[in-house]
Structure 1
Amino acid sequence: MSETLREMCKTLRLAYVADIYETVDYDTPAQFLEAVFAEEFRKREAAKVQRLIKKAKFLDSKSLASYEWHDQIRFPAHIDQTGLSSLSFLEHRENIVLIGSPGTGKTHLATALGRKACEQGYDVRFFRVAHLVEQLETALKQDKLTAFRKRFEKVELIVLDEMGYLPFSKAGSELLFQLISEWYEQKSLIITSNLEFSQWNRIFIDSRLTAALVDRLIHHAHILSFTGESYRLANALSKSL
């Protein structure tokens, strides 16, 4: 491709035409243009998905394709595996809460659902809850809390992993409560926890704050219970035999 044509593509923001035009099979000029533009659109969408996945900051690349569904996941009456995988809860800004013992597949499923949401064009963020609280407390100390909260204005799904592994300070609990309250009925959340709701006082200290938070989370939520032994532990034990 000549430099003149390359500059034209750049001006028209056709990022991929210069790389693909020679590989396109065609019989007519119209077929050529259609094929080139179709590939341009495809590559743009693929690049967008990769940008969304990068922005989400998942800790690994777990997907639904690699997830091992098992009979020790108890679904509520109003959603099943197919409904969950379809991400229909995002359309209604509903929440998903995954509760159960460590190592039973909660984080894998939460990550996989978040990744699929990125693939469908949703803006997603993934946090270990303890790290999010640390960031909130730091933002408060640096007088940057408003700017930090604004980062979520266009985010549509937030994954909060490991709610309950570490207790929070009173200030941290209140900051997290305020943030989740802002997201209430505006965004969808996926939360994983090893604690039943009745045990969340261990995390948030203030029983009234805990009750108010749980009320917001479960109002529009699908709650899945994970039972059974840890996959990680079972895998480690099998390798030691």
Structure 2
Amino acid sequence: MNTELLLDHMTKQLRIPTIAKQYRSLAREAEERNLSYEEFLLALLEAEVQTREENQKQRRLMQASFPIQKTLNTYDFSLMPSLNRNRFITLAKGEFVEKKENIIFLGNSGTGKTHLAISLGIEMIQNGYKTKFITASALVEELLMAHEEHKIGALEKKWLKFDVIIIDELGYVPFTKMGAELLFQFFSSRYERASVIITTNLEFTEWTTVFGDEKMTAALLDRLTHRSHIHLLNGESYRFRQSMKQKEVGEG
């Protein structure tokens, strides 16, 4: 068996497909540039590591289940003066995840809460964190099903594997008493153990309309806001102002 066939066989056996694809071209480049064996080996390993890291990011991105991909660069902060762009650039570095802190976006419909939540979620994936997106109603439905099947503990363990969970649209749909209690338990299980990002159209004083019980709501807010970055998005719809701005540019 010649050298190339042996290399192909061994790279396949060792599961290093990028090296298998690139060793020939990198070998020619190393020869042309008179690189040392160590430099050639480093170039091969760097290519393999880079590909693996990119593949992992893509897997985490698919696992996150974002309904759409958004970035901080595509959010027009000039339309929402109450927000500090630099604060979001700092949050995007992921220190809040390391500190097990939460982020809460409160604001009217169309103010860009979900856009910002997804943007930070994608940044966390780029930083190597496992992230998951789910609406509050879908999460409660999943919790209720797990409760009926006596699998709530297993479900909570599954969710704790994620460093960040984005819970979208809390407050858009009221929950049953059991659903509210299970969601309270879910948040409590993550308290100071992992981060959540929440988007809601409700002021904190209105959360009892979702959770029903005032004492439970107060206890939940105490946990969620204890270690949280809270962003208020008020004023008219961000989407409306953005479309008007684009229209003005088009007419100009």
So what's the TM-score if we normalise by structure 1? Answer: 0.91
**What is the CA deviation profile of residues 10-53 of structure 1, one whole-angstrom value per residue up to 9, with x for unaligned ones?**
32231311122233222233322111111111011001111111
**8 Å CA contact 2:79, 2:241 repeated in 1:** no
One-letter amino acid of the counterpart of residue 206, structure 2: Q
**8 Å CA contact 1:58, 1:126 repeated in 2:** yes
Which of 118, 123, 127 is the matching residue for 2:130? 123
The residue that corresponds to 1:15 in the other structure is 17
The structural deviation recorded for 1:200 is: 0.4
**8 Å CA contact 1:100, 1:227 repeated in 2:** yes
Indicate yes or no: 2:38 matched with 1:36. Answer: no
The residue that corresponds to 2:116 in the other structure is 109
**8 Å CA contact 1:73, 1:227 repeated in 2:** no
One-letter amino acid of the counterpart of residue 111, structure 1: I
Distance across 2 between alignment mates of 1:4 and 1:111? 46
The residue that corresponds to 1:228 in the other structure is 235
**8 Å CA contact 1:127, 1:161 repeated in 2:** yes
Tell me: CA distance 1:30–1:166, structure 2 relative to 1, closer, same or farther (3 Å).
Answer: same
- Aligned-residue Cα RMSD (Å) equals 2.1
One-letter amino acid of the counterpart of residue 135, structure 1: E
Which of 156, 160, 163 is the matching residue for 2:170? 163
**8 Å CA contact 1:137, 1:175 repeated in 2:** yes
Q: How many residue pairs get matched?
A: 238
Distance across 2 between alignment mates of 1:116 and 1:2? 41
Query: Where does the alignment leave 5 or more consecutive residues of structure 1 unmatched?
Result: none
2:62 is paired with a residue whose SS is: helix
One-letter amino acid of the counterpart of residue 221, structure 1: S
Indicate yes or no: 2:64 matched with 1:64. Answer: no
**8 Å CA contact 2:80, 2:238 repeated in 1:** no
1:39 is paired with a residue whose SS is: helix
The residue that corresponds to 1:184 in the other structure is 191
**8 Å CA contact 1:136, 1:145 repeated in 2:** yes
Tell me: CA distance 1:22–1:107, structure 2 relative to 1, closer, same or farther (3 Å).
Answer: same
Tell me: CA distance 1:73–1:96, structure 2 relative to 1, closer, same or farther (3 Å).
Answer: farther
Percent of pairs identical after alignment? Answer: 39
Tell me: CA distance 1:145–1:70, structure 2 relative to 1, closer, same or farther (3 Å).
Answer: same
**8 Å CA contact 2:94, 2:127 repeated in 1:** no
Tell me: CA distance 1:148–1:177, structure 2 relative to 1, closer, same or farther (3 Å).
Answer: same
**8 Å CA contact 1:110, 1:190 repeated in 2:** yes
Tell me: CA distance 1:177–1:23, structure 2 relative to 1, closer, same or farther (3 Å).
Answer: same
So what's the TM-score if we normalise by structure 2? Answer: 0.87
2:17 is paired with a residue whose SS is: coil
Indicate yes or no: 2:6 matched with 1:4. Answer: yes
The structural deviation recorded for 1:236 is: 6.1
The structural deviation recorded for 1:234 is: 4.4
Structure with greater helix share of residues: 2
Query: Where does the alignment leave 5 or more consecutive residues of structure 2 unmatched?
Result: none
User: Which stretch shows the higher mean deviation, 22-31 or 151-160?
Assistant: 22-31
Q: Which has the larger radius of gyration?
A: 2
One-letter amino acid of the counterpart of residue 74, structure 1: S
Distance across 1 between alignment mates of 2:17 and 2:227? 41
The residue that corresponds to 2:218 in the other structure is 211
**8 Å CA contact 1:75, 1:223 repeated in 2:** no
**8 Å CA contact 2:101, 2:196 repeated in 1:** yes
The structural deviation recorded for 1:134 is: 0.6
1:70 is paired with a residue whose SS is: helix
